[in-house]
Amino acid sequence: MTHMPKRLAILVGGGPAPGINSVIGTATIRGVLAGCEVVGIRDGFKWIMEGRIDYVTPLLIETVSRIHFRGGSHIGISRANPTKNPEHLEACVISLLRLNVDKLITIGGDDTAFSAARLEECSKGRIRVVHVPKTIDNDLNLPGDTYTFGFQTARHHGVEIVKNLMVDGRTTSRWYFVVAMGRKAGHLALGIGKAAGATLTLIPEEFPAKVSLKKVVDTVVGAILKRLSDGRPDGVLVLAEGLVESMDPADLEQLEDVERDAHGHVRIAEINFGEILKLKVQEGLKRYGIKTTIVAKNIGYELRCADPIPYDMEYTRDLGYCATKYLDEGGNGVMVTIQDGRFKPLPFGEMMDPQTGKTRVRMVDIHAERYKIARRYMIRLRRDDFEDAHELAKFAATAGISLDQFRTDFEYLVEDEPPPIKLTHRPAAP
């Protein structure tokens, strides 16, 4: 009786990120050169969790050797979640075994990593699994300052967009509210805001507990007023979309009919957070007799299928190679990471949070030394802004309220730390 050779399968879950094709390409090349047949499972877990094994693409060196230059996914992608139903998880294992697969590489973010760990557990040693961390949100808890792949490319293109909006804003005297992806962490928004020098950046980590919509609105209103007092009617605000999930549930009642994905998450892309904030901020500014043009813009889909920059191309080619090599040498049950230029396997058990049973999330530590300059971008008002001689007093007078009332309105937004540099006005040259 002739036995079919065992196969290596590659599967992509979650949302797109620049560099997916680089992982697929080098993982395939390393596998084929090692004498293994490699196949791509199309559209993530979508079909195999239904017992379908006809959505499979043979992967050959000649068909993948140049795909690393392009964004998207050569074998498709989906957010199908097999862990919600034990029968779906078992169907995935059976489908892969029917395809004669004994090695599996999954590429994805926190949800796909969790699915990979559960699938490996369910297979009971019949299928060895390695996960490659992919997400432009950079929210997987990798060792040290290791990035998830796709983050650097997404930040690069996000900065280009914000840079152009900054020029447009100054030219037309308007504000832009830019909402960046980041469901659980504000890395992408902060990375874009820091690099571009955005007027203001707001991320969920800046607020220690649930944040109210009113506090976000007041923060932005305060920043616009301070900006106006310096003679600038324009600005760019960068927001992490995760602010929506960090909000007080009472503030989300108006969003109760919003669609949710297969993992139970609110489809934040379906919530026009920028437009909601725009309307509330304009209402807040009316209290002070101020009218300003605000344009809300979501960026995310423009970033996640971009062609990868060289950083992500090199990084992801290394990840794909290491994933296949680790499996070929008998490895199993890890997430592939590279730290300080060296391969570092992270066991599935270390990925999991014992409290939630889910994959650990890496939040932005805004108190870390490397983010101190970033906090200056997030500073709204200072105590010396409330001096009578300051221009902000004029806004209080325009609104017909006392300076004390103005101070009360914004007191809880004030930073205690002194300005990093004492600014003085130089007299104009004669």
| Tens-place pLDDT, residues 174-183 | 999 999 999 8
Q: How far is CA 343 from the centre of its chain?
A: 24
Residues 6+ apart with CB under 8 A from 206: 186, 366, 378
The one-character DSSP state at 334 is E
Rounded mean pLDDT of the chain?
A: 86
Span 334-356, pLDDT tens digits:
999 998 888 989 999 888 888 77
Of 234-243, 250-259, 290-299, minimum mean pLDDT range: 250-259
How confident is the model at residue 427, as a pLDDT? 47
Scored b (16 or more CB within 10 A) or e, 372-382 reads eebeebbbbbe
Residue 5 has pLDDT above 80, yes or no: no
Q: What is the mean pLDDT of residues 4-29?
A: 93
Q: Which tokens belong to 364?
A: 């932005």
> What Cα–Cα distance (Å) separates residue 185 from each residue in 61, 181, 228?
37, 9, 30
Q: What average pLDDT does this structure show over 279-284? A: 91
Q: What is the 3-state secondary structure (H, E, C) of 210-264?
A: CECHHHHHHHHHHHHHHHHHCCCCCEEEEEEHHHCCCECHHHHHHHCCCCECCCC
Mean pLDDT for 361-389 is 73
Residues 6+ apart with CB under 8 A from 333: 117, 120, 128, 129, 130, 347, 348, 349
Alpha-carbon distance 18 to 131, whole Å? 17
CB 135 within 8 A of CB 148: yes
* pLDDT tens-place string over residues 103-130: 999 999 989 999 999 999 999 999 999 9
| Choice between 383 and 37, residue whose per-residue pLDDT is larger | 37
Q: Kindly indicate the confidence band of residue 393, based on its pLDDT and cuts at 50, 70 and 90.
A: confident
Q: Distances in Å between the alpha carbon of 354 and those of 11, 119, 350? A: 26, 18, 9
Asked if residues 60 and 28 have their Cβ atoms less than 8 Å apart, the reply is yes
pLDDT for the residue 423: 41
Structure tokens at 246: 């960090």
Active-site residue (options: 102, 111, 137, 139): 137
Instruction: For strands 381-382 and 56-59, give the pairing.
Output: unpaired
Query: What's this model's pTM, rounded to 2 decimal places?
Result: 0.87
Query: How far, CA to CA in Å, does 174 sit from each of 235, 265, 288, 321, 381?
Result: 7, 33, 17, 48, 20
> What pLDDT, on the 0 to 100 scale, is given for residue 79?
92
The arrangement of strands across the sheet holding 342-347 comes to 56-59, 37-41, 7-12, 101-108, 128-133, 334-339, 342-347
Helix (H) or strand (E) holding 278: helix 273-286
Q: Decide if pLDDT at 421 tops 60.
A: no
How far, in Å, CA of 299 to CA of 304, rounded? Answer: 9
Answer with the residue of higher pLDDT: 312 or 206.
312
Between residues 401 and 275, the one the model is more confident about? 275
Ranges of H-type helices in 49-174 = 61-64, 86-98, 110-123, 151-172
Confidence (pLDDT) at 388: 61
Residue 339 tokens, joined: 């730290």
DSSP letter (8 states) at residue 396 = H
Classify residue 158 as exposed, middle or buried by CB count within 10 Å of its CB (0-12, 13-18, 19+): buried
Task: Check if 137 is active-site.
Answer: yes
Q: Assign 266 to helix, strand or coil.
A: strand
61-70, 142-151, 263-272 — which is least confidently predicted? 263-272
More confident residue, 114 or 415: 114
Q: Which residue has the tokens 């934040």?
A: 268
The CA-based dihedral angle spanning residues 328, 329, 335, 339, taken in that order and rounded to the nearest 10 degrees: -120
User: CB–CB of 198/164 below 8 Å?
Assistant: no
Mean pLDDT of 192-215: 88
- In the chain the domains, ranked by start, together with CATH numbers, are 7-149+308-351 (3.40.50.450), 154-304+381-413 (3.40.50.460)
User: What angle separates helix 86-98 from helix 110-123, to the nearest 10 degrees?
Assistant: 70
Closest CA to 60 of 34, 37, 77, 42: 37
More confident residue, 387 or 115: 115
pLDDT score of 254 more than 60: no
